[in-house]
């Protein structure tokens, strides 16, 4: 992926969303040819020269100082995630052998132990591209019960959560507000693209989704960035019905994401997750059954 082009498009998209009155500039009734701020207006707000900002937006100048980037971020009103994305695009370190396939992603024994220990709580581990590297039985049942539960163990067959959200009918039906979930997924993918600009597999995923899904293409061209470490979604599961689930993301030292799904204590949604966990435990396997049964009994009053 061309980070110069990404940088320019990101700056242009953010500048176009700002109106002069949003930043205290007076309009004197003149007709404007651009919907947002002009380049020279943004440069003035950031305290940099118009020519320098133009070069930056056109991709002719990289490795800007942190001070300049922070000034531009402040002028654009970027949040923490967008600011980090701007720095990644503008100052991404040079890599040797650009375009090579990155090293295969593996789940450490410690993370795998965590996933297994949380047997009755839906958990999955995502790689830098959103590939499912591991999940426990309940995580598989919640997100992708229609897929082979062993697929994360085969690198060539690993499901990709972004792909599923946009291209899999089962996953689309899981989310009552699919648009909100899709925007969160694309926003996270934007962050990943800025952090891993030389990942050819990530570039291939984005390219294929852009061609196959008009909805992804429209959201991707919007250049929105979201760090969705906590998201609350209404899910409509074919086995246990509707439930409100909080998806929380923990980050590992290897740059992987451990996604944990929970529900409000004592709620019908928590009861639905407990029932789902029970269905995910194979017959004859009592690991975790006792704790699930006790919690279910507390909720039902039995």
Q: What is the pLDDT of residue 286?
A: 46
Q: What is the pLDDT of residue 26?
A: 62
User: For residue 41, how far is the Cα from the chain centroid?
Assistant: 32
Q: What is the pLDDT of residue 101?
A: 65
Check if the beta carbon of residue 134 is closer than 8 Å to that of residue 164: no
Q: Does residue 280 surpass a pLDDT of 50? A: yes
Tens digit of each residue's pLDDT (9 = 90 or more) over 183-195:
999 999 998 888 8
**pTM as predicted:** 0.79
Is 3-91 in CATH node 1.10.260.40? yes
For the chain, the domains span 3-91, 109-300
Collapsed DSSP state (helix, strand, coil) of residue 136: coil
Check if the beta carbon of residue 128 is closer than 8 Å to that of residue 202: yes
The mean-pLDDT minimum among 64-78, 110-124, 128-142, 199-213 falls in 64-78
Tens digit of each residue's pLDDT (9 = 90 or more) over 220-234:
988 888 888 899 999
Please name the residues in contact with 180: beta carbons below 8 A apart, sequence gap of 6 or more: 233
Question: Largest Cα–Cα distance of the chain, in whole Å?
Answer: 77
Give, in order, the Cα–Cα distances in Å from 175 to each of 139, 149, 210, 229, 235. Answer: 15, 21, 21, 17, 5
Higher pLDDT, residue 297 or 157? 157
Check if the beta carbon of residue 193 is closer than 8 Å to that of residue 211: no
Assign 142 a pLDDT band (cuts: 50, 70, 90): very high
Check if the beta carbon of residue 268 is closer than 8 Å to that of residue 240: no
Q: Which strand ranges, in their side-by-side order, compose the sheet holding 241-251?
A: 132-135, 123-126, 257-262, 241-251, 230-237
The mean-pLDDT minimum among 30-34, 261-265, 285-289 falls in 285-289
Nearest CA to 291 out of 115, 109, 114, 117 is that of 117
Q: What is the pLDDT of residue 1?
A: 58
Q: Does residue 284 surpass a pLDDT of 70? A: no
CA angle 201, 253, 78 (to 5 degrees): 70
Assign 27 a pLDDT band (cuts: 50, 70, 90): low
Average pLDDT over residues 178-187: 94
Q: What is the pLDDT of residue 131?
A: 96
The mean-pLDDT minimum among 82-86, 146-150, 213-217 falls in 82-86
For 168-182, the three-class secondary structure string (H helix, E strand, C coil) is: CHHHHHHECCHHHHH
Taking the alpha carbons at both ends of the chain, their separation in whole angstroms is: 57
Please name the residues in contact with 59: beta carbons below 8 A apart, sequence gap of 6 or more: 2, 4, 5, 7, 8
Its CATH architecture, for the domain 109-300, is 2-Layer Sandwich (3.30)
Tens digit of each residue's pLDDT (9 = 90 or more) over 101-128:
677 899 999 999 999 999 899 999 999 9
């Amino acid at each position: 992926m061309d980070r110069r082009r990404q940088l320019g498009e990101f700056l242009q998209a953010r500048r176009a969303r700002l109106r002069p009155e949003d930043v205290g500039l007076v309009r004197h009734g003149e007709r404007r040819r651009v919907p947002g701020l002009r380049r020279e207006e943004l440069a003035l707000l950031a305290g940099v020269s118009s020519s320098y900002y133009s070069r930056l937006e056109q991709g002719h100048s990289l490795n800007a100082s942190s001070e300049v980037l922070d000034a531009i971020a402040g002028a654009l009103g970027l949040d923490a995630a967008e600011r980090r994305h701007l720095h990644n695009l503008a100052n991404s370190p040079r890599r040797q052998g650009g375009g090579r396939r990155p090293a295969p992603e593996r789940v450490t024994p410690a993370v795998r132990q965590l996933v297994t220990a949380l047997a009755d709580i839906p958990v999955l581990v995502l790689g830098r591209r959103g590939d499912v590297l591991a999940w426990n039985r309940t995580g598989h049942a919640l997100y992708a019960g229609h897929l082979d539960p062993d697929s994360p163990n085969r690198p060539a067959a690993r499901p990709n959560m972004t792909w599923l959200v946009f291209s899999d009918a089962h996953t689309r039906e899981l989310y009552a507000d699919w648009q909100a979930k899709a925007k969160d997924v694309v926003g996270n993918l934007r962050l990943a693209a800025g952090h891993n600009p030389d990942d050819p597999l990530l570039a291939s995923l984005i390219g294929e989704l852009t061609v196959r899904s008009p909805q992804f293409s429209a959201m991707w061209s919007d250049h929105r960035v979201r760090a969705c470490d906590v998201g609350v979604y209404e899910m409509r599961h074919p086995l246990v019905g509707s439930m409100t689930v909080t998806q929380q993301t923990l980050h590992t030292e290897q740059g992987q994401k451990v996604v944990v799904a929970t529900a409000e204590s004592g709620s019908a949604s928590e009861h639905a997750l407990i029932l789902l966990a029970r269905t995910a435990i194979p017959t004859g396997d009592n690991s975790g059954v006792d704790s699930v049964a006790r919690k279910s009994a507390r909720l039902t009053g039995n």
